[in-house]
Structure 1
Amino acid sequence: MRLSSPIYKLKRRAKFLVRGNDVKLHEALNQIAAEEGFKDWSHLASNYSKATPAKEIVKQLGAGDMLLIGARPGHGKTLLGLELTALAEKINRTGYFFTLDFNEADVRDRFEKLGFDPKGFDRPVVVDTSDNICADYVIECLNKSSDDALVVIDYLQLLDQRRRNPPLEEQVRALRAFATKCGAIVVMISQIDRTFELSSGLMPSIDDIRLPNPLDLSLFDKRCFLHDGEVQIEKAA
Structure 2
Amino acid sequence: MKLSAPLFRLKRQARLLSRAEGIPLNKALDRIAVIEGFRSWSQLAARVGREHRPAADLYAQLEPGDTVLLGARPGHGKTLLGLGLLLEAAKTGRGGTFFTLDYHEEDVARSLGSLGAGASAANAFALDTSDEICAAHIIARLSDSPRGTLSVIDYLQLLDQRRTNPEIGVQIRNLKRFVVSSGHILVLISQIDRAFERGAAGLPGLADVRLPNPVDLTLFTKACFLHDGEARMDTREVA
Cα deviation digits, residues 82-137 of structure 1 (max 9, x gap): 1111111233311211000111100111011101135347x731111111101110
SS at match of 2:214: coil
Partners of 2:219 and 2:83 in 1: CA distance: 22
Taking structure 1 as reference, are residues 93 and 200 closer, same or farther at Cα in structure 2, changes over 3 Å only?
A: same
How do 1:34-183 and structure 2 match up within 5 A?
Answer: 49-120=50-121, 124-146=124-146, 148-183=148-183
Q: TM-score, normalised by structure 1?
A: 0.77
* CA drift at 1:201: 3.4
Cα deviation digits, residues 123-161 of structure 1 (max 9, x gap): 731111111101110111112444741010000000021
8 Å CA contact retained: 2:155, 2:188: yes
Q: How many residues align?
A: 199
* CA drift at 1:63: 0.4
Gaps of 5+ in 1: 8-44
Tell me which residue corresponds to 1:192: 192
8 Å CA contact retained: 1:156, 1:188: yes
Taking structure 1 as reference, are residues 5 and 201 closer, same or farther at Cα in structure 2, changes over 3 Å only?
A: closer
Taking structure 1 as reference, are residues 130 and 139 closer, same or farther at Cα in structure 2, changes over 3 Å only?
A: same
* CA drift at 1:3: 6.2
8 Å CA contact retained: 1:157, 1:191: yes
8 Å CA contact retained: 1:92, 1:148: no
Q: TM-score, normalised by structure 2?
A: 0.77
Gaps of 5+ in 2: 2-37
Cα deviation digits, residues 43-76 of structure 1 (max 9, x gap): xx99963341111000000100011011111111
SS at match of 1:153: strand
SS at match of 1:231: strand
8 Å CA contact retained: 1:169, 1:216: yes
SS at match of 2:84: helix
8 Å CA contact retained: 1:66, 1:221: yes
Tell me which residue corresponds to 1:205: 205
Taking structure 1 as reference, are residues 201 and 51 closer, same or farther at Cα in structure 2, changes over 3 Å only?
A: closer
The letter for the 2-side match of 1:219 is L
* CA drift at 1:170: 0.7
The percent of aligned pairs where both chains have the same amino acid is 49
The letter for the 1-side match of 2:225 is F
SS at match of 1:170: helix
8 Å CA contact retained: 2:87, 2:121: no
Partners of 1:100 and 1:48 in 2: CA distance: 27
Tell me which residue corresponds to 1:12: none
Taking structure 1 as reference, are residues 47 and 167 closer, same or farther at Cα in structure 2, changes over 3 Å only?
A: closer
8 Å CA contact retained: 2:147, 2:184: no
Moved over 6 A (4+): 45-48
Partners of 1:205 and 1:57 in 2: CA distance: 17
Partners of 1:160 and 1:48 in 2: CA distance: 34
The letter for the 1-side match of 2:185 is I
